[in-house]
Structure 1
Amino acid sequence: MKKNISLFTIFSLIISLLYIPAASAQGKDGRDIAFRAELKAIAKKTYTYYEDHTDPATGLTFDETRYTEEGKKNAEHTSPTNIGMYMMSTVSAQEMGFISKEEAVDRIQVTLNTLESMKKWNGLFYNWYYTKDGSLKKDWGQFISQVDNGWLSAGLIVAGQAYDELNGQTSKMVANMDYSTLYDPEVGQFRGGYDVAQEKLTDHHYGLLYTEPRVASYISIGKGDVPKEHWWKMERTIPAEWDWQSQIPEGEYAEYDGVSVFEGHYEYSGVKFVPSWGGSMFEGLMPGIVLKEKELGKQALGLNNQRHVELQIQYAKDKGYKAWGFSPAATPDGYSEFAATPLGTSGYADKSTVTPHASFLALDYAPDEVRKNIKVLKGMDMYGKYGFYDSVNVETGEMAKAYLALDQGMIMVSIANYLKDGVIRDYFHQDPIGKKPEELLEKEVFSIQ
């Protein structure tokens, strides 16, 4: 009798233990289903910005639109980054079922035809063009930007892999973009760009790895325009003797492909991390919308991305802010840099201003925190016709009622990657340009373990 009771008791305990987690999982699954539906609805609104603000004749998207006391104002010029983001956002829209494949191909085809006719320098694109006809906008200078061309290349690569019928056109365009013209072989780093009017390269280099220009660096290595040693010539932290930086780094040297690299780090709230320049989210996390940093860089860039997300959230808590997500964004009367200051080498101020795109860039690393943050932002009346307005001061409630093509693109692609298992990253890495340098992501070990 006792044996029977014991067996019954054990059986009952097993059933109860199995039941409780199942119920919890069901609740979690329910939240996840609701969140995924919410993200899809946000993405659909976000893509509507591109549908309503892209010139149908040229396939070029307005840089921004603003709602002012005088009414709605469109900035009818665009940049290489905006064009790249439009193409990736259109692929994302098709992957999420908002438009058909035929519509996506037709839209991107128009853009490609315009790109072919636009003025270039060594295959690289200038910083600004008019959306009405693709002509060069010269009143802001005639600058060739390394980082902006990198994002256009990324968009072309993704579009070409998503649609075979466009691949010939996109591949030729990327092949013609000669990044070696911006490279300084003596330093092993890229110049910021080239001023065509003054016929000179910038004095400054893009010296830090953990900033958004690493996408152009990765692509340039994948193309063979620059040697792979360039990846190791970028600084993880600037030299310790440069005592103006926000903190003196600690770390140790490691060797990769015959190059000695100082694997330095900073520390905030007891957590080690490799800093960006300003401490903003898009510097650190935007490259991850195309690069498989989380998947391949588990001991380096992927781990560091995780740290930056966690520390942005912690920084907001330390400051007593109701929301988090610090990154350059529109202001009510312009544009400014915002950041979680301690996370940067020369940290930008936060000015109590958050921007929604920073949350979406964090989706792969902290989805629950993103879900909660979205709820807070919606509660601040940040959600409008084309998705989230670009920024809000969390102390005063003052909003920048603007939509920026760049920021809309970061939101759109981040959601597509989250809902579709990294689809945009997969397209990018399918191309030999994206595939070839993967070892650079895999082999490095940051000093933040």
Structure 2
Amino acid sequence: MRKQLLAIPLLAAQLLYGCQSASGPATATGTANDNALEQTLSDEALLTKVQEQTFQYFWDGAEPNSGLARERIHMDGVYPLNDRNVVTTGATGFGLMAIVVGMERGFISRQEGVAHLQKMVNFLEKADRFHGAWSHWIEGETGKVRPFGKKDNGGDLVETAFLVQGLITVRQYLQDGNQQEKALASQIDKLWKGVDWNWYRKDGQNVLYWHWSPEYNWEMNFPVSGYNECLVMYVLAAASPTHGVPAEVYHEGWAQNGAIKSDATKYGREVVLNHNGHKGSVGPMFWAHYSYLGLDPRGLKDRYADYWKLNENHTMIQHDYCVENPKNYKGYGEDAWGLTSSYSVNGYSGHSPERDLGVISPTAALSSYPYAPKESMKVIRHLYEDLGDKVWGKYGFYDAYSEEKDWYTPRYLGIDQGPIVVMIENGRTGLLWDLFMSAPEVQSGLKKLGFESPKIN
């Protein structure tokens, strides 16, 4: 989903994700109900409630035929692209991890969870693949590719990496289980080892390309250089025991021979890495989430960065920016911060301090819980206790809102809901970090690229 904000004009993103369309408005102004939600929950109880309600997006809200994560769920029933049953690869990877959380927290039984995971894996086995990579969108009823854009109708290596991150986590969770669970873990192992990361170097270049299509080949022409949300793709490409890439692909393609490093500071904090080639800029908050649902940033370092510092500083720079609130937007403050790509007042948008439209996306602060637990908790309480059912619904907090514009949308995006469940759990127990980092291939890939981590044996 996020790539389009880097690759296509904002107008096209609005057409793809239109918060408003000819078929009807997708926005709604909620009515506060101060008594609708409990206001006396402890922090632990509130965290669990948020996780459980959001988990339901991937459980109750899953596309019924495939069991995979829907691209979006609109509680107003308006779907501009008639994509109600389109599933999305990256959010499905996040959903796989959310189901592990659900089993561990008792939201569902282990037996229920394993049965659902089996359904998902069976579907993924039969779905369209392109040199082992899945497409960004898949038709939930058929497993056929649903074009994300005219030329984006083939393999999507970044979304595939997010899916594989979830698959490996589930494999690690099940591999020592009963006979059925071990068989499912083996099935998952074959799936991830079928991804031909090396193909996506486009004729052997030392960089990974985002897309390949059997119809348009490399015409999307998107070599992925850092820094952005795609670090885990390079780690997995190096880690693959079947179609791995050499370390030079990471150092030359992703890290740009060291040009990725930044000496900029904001609000007295080091930026650490140049975000997506823009020196000194601080990108949308999801860049500190997607690759780190499984990749544990605690003590993770290479020649370019201390990744805990990177993500902690990214979080606190955004926090401090929203507290300063240089544009004087209504509602910003200690209990309302966090800018990331999400629905917006006039269409989908990539919110950040460089592009601040007065829109708060709950996933930004909530999924930053490991990096800033106190600051994140203030946002959770404000959303739940103060804004209430303006922003809270069947699958947790809605995707975005703006007090400045009095704009509240009863809509969800899978790729925003997933990190909330997973990152809150990582902040509480480290569960998903521990599972993903226990994979021997992940450790080998990190070693190949020159990383150090307390999790590397």
The bucket for the TM-score relative to the shorter chain is: 0.7 to 0.9
**2:136 alignment partner, SS class:** coil
- Aligned counterpart, 1:330: 343
1:36-51 map, 5 Å:
36-51=44-59
Q: 2:246 aligns with which of 227, 234, 238?
A: 227
The residue type paired with residue 252 of structure 2 is: K
Q: Check conservation: 1:300, 1:441, Cα contact below 8 A.
A: no
- Aligned counterpart, 2:208: 190
- Aligned counterpart, 1:148: 159
Q: Deviations over 1:360-400 (max 9, x none)?
A: 22111110101111222232231222110000114223122
Q: Higher Cα Rg: structure 1 or 2?
A: 1
- Aligned counterpart, 1:158: 169
- Aligned counterpart, 1:199: 217
TM-score, normalised with respect to structure 1: 0.79
1:407 aligns with 2:400: no
Shift, 1:282, TM fit:
0.5
**1:75 alignment partner, SS class:** coil
- Aligned counterpart, 1:386: 395
Q: 2:379 aligns with which of 362, 373, 383?
A: 373
Q: Check conservation: 2:341, 2:348, Cα contact below 8 A.
A: yes
Q: Which consecutive residues of structure 1, in runs of 5 or more, have no partner in the other structure?
A: 1-32, 239-258, 342-348, 445-449
Q: 1:286 aligns with which of 279, 283, 290?
A: 290
- Aligned counterpart, 2:26: none
Q: Deviations over 1:204-258 (max 9, x none)?
A: 31111x311111111111115111232322455x7xxxxxxxxxxxxxxxxxxxx
Structure 1 residues 119 and 262, CA gap change in structure 2 (3 angstroms):
closer
2-structure distance, mates of 1:333, 1:312: 22
Shift, 1:413, TM fit:
0.7
- Aligned counterpart, 1:93: 102
2-structure distance, mates of 1:155, 1:92: 12
Which protein is richer in helix relative to its size?
A: 1
Structure 1 residues 70 and 188, CA gap change in structure 2 (3 angstroms):
closer
Q: Check conservation: 1:187, 1:233, Cα contact below 8 A.
A: no
Structure 1 residues 313 and 47, CA gap change in structure 2 (3 angstroms):
same
**1:98 alignment partner, SS class:** coil
Q: Which consecutive residues of structure 2, in runs of 5 or more, have no partner in the other structure?
A: 1-40, 176-181, 277-281
Shift, 1:290, TM fit:
0.9
Q: 1:431 aligns with which of 434, 439, 444?
A: 439
1:101-250 map, 5 Å:
101-138=110-147, 140-141=149-150, 142-164=153-175, 165=182, 166-184=184-202, 188-208=206-226, 210-224=227-241, 225-234=244-253
Q: Check conservation: 1:232, 1:261, Cα contact below 8 A.
A: no
Structure 1 residues 35 and 351, CA gap change in structure 2 (3 angstroms):
same
Shift, 1:158, TM fit:
0.9
Structure 1 residues 78 and 103, CA gap change in structure 2 (3 angstroms):
same
* Aligned positions, number: 384
The residue type paired with residue 200 of structure 1 is: W
- Aligned counterpart, 1:59: 67
Structure 1 residues 424 and 262, CA gap change in structure 2 (3 angstroms):
closer
Which protein is richer in strand relative to its size?
A: 1
Q: Check conservation: 1:296, 1:438, Cα contact below 8 A.
A: no
CA RMSD of aligned residues (A): 2.7
2-structure distance, mates of 1:69, 1:182: 38
2-structure distance, mates of 1:404, 1:262: 30
Structure 1 residues 280 and 181, CA gap change in structure 2 (3 angstroms):
same
